[in-house]
Amino acid sequence: MALKSYLPYLLRRAKEIKEEKRVVRLHTVDYNGTDYWSSVVLNHPATFDTMAMEPETKKELIEDLDMFKIGLLHGRAWKRGYLFYRPPGTGKSSLVAAMANYLNFDVNNLDLREVQCNSDLRRLLIGSANRSLLVIEDIDCNVGLKNRENENDTTEDDKITLSGLLNFIDGLWSSCGDERIIVFTTNHKDRLDPALLRPGRMDVHIEMSYCTFSGFRVLASNYLNVDEHRLFKAIEDLFRRVKVTPAEVAGELMKSNNANVALEGLVKFLQNKEREVMTRS
């Protein structure tokens, strides 16, 4: 009896140790590579602690991923689809890296503009790594991704179609036994076909907001190692009136290692943004 109860524990610990030593890799489309993929080590520093996201949104995403990990521990293969949307510079790509580091999953970055036809798309999806995040960025901008009503004249070797993408994703979901996550990103959620947005394809929709004061505090800690400063109140007031992305804020904070200089520069940047908005209106 002791052996029966202890053996599953040993197997589980062996799997956990193997995962801890596993190096996260980034796979990109390469027609000369194995299964059309080539890979490099993903050395991205992003973690959930360093993400300038709304705390509640971050909390909900982590809880969802924790449920995913619980499923792994109990041997359940769980597939999950996410949609990250909002303007460029709001941290969509960094969030993908944070998820990969959190789960210790590889990233398969699928640029549909590099995929020549539906048959190649099928091969790429089948060849994507197990226990991975399959990422399709800027889904609304990909060349050749036609709406379903315009697909009547397409053939197997035509440029990839929306129906082809949906069918292959659904097939991958139903046939693979390993854990998979798919992430779509877009700057324009309203341009997406409703068929893509339904549960089972994009289960969780996460709006990547413009930088808020709470997000700024994370960035200030990351780049300047400061948690409080005399300029924080002025910056908080400006964030209530000005829309800027986390990337823009990070760009200003990186201009100096001196907190006073960097934060004064950020205040001027935000004030200039506010004047530009007032001038246009």
The mean pLDDT of the chain is 83
Domains of the chain by start residue, with CATH: 14-207 (3.40.50.300), 213-280 (no CATH)
- Return d(Cα 254, Cα 262) in angstroms, integer: 7
Could you read off the pLDDT of 208-247 as tens digits, one per residue? 989 999 999 999 999 999 999 999 999 999 999 999 999 9
pLDDT at residue 87, rounded to an integer: 87
Dihedrals phi, psi of 208, to nearest 5 degrees: -90, 105
To 10 degrees, what angle do helices 232-239 and 259-280 make?
A: 30
Decide if 147 contacts 154 (C-beta within 8 A). no
Could you read off the pLDDT of 72-101 as tens digits, one per residue? 666 555 778 899 998 888 999 999 999 999
- Return d(Cα 92, Cα 162) in angstroms, integer: 22
150 pLDDT band, cuts 50/70/90, is low
Distance set, CA 159 to CA 3, 18, 88, 121, 147 (Å) = 56, 40, 26, 10, 12
To 10 degrees, what angle do helices 118-127 and 162-175 make?
A: 30
What are the beta bridge partners of residue 161? 146
pLDDT at residue 204, rounded to an integer: 93
pLDDT, average across residues 8-31:
68
Res. 171: pLDDT tops 80: no
Q: CA 252 from chain center: how many Å?
A: 23
pLDDT, average across residues 173-190:
79
Res. 70: pLDDT tops 70: yes
Global pTM value: 0.82
Res. 258: pLDDT tops 90: yes
- Return d(Cα 64, Cα 201) in angstroms, integer: 15
pLDDT at residue 165, rounded to an integer: 80
pLDDT at residue 143, rounded to an integer: 47
The runs of H, that is alpha helices, within the chain are: 2-21, 55-73, 92-103, 118-127, 162-175, 194-197, 213-224, 232-239, 246-253, 259-280
Decide if 79 contacts 179 (C-beta within 8 A). yes
Cβ density class 86-108: b for 16+ within 10 Å, e for less? beebbbbbbbbbbbbbbbebbbb
**Could you identify the residue written with the tokens 């930088």?**
211
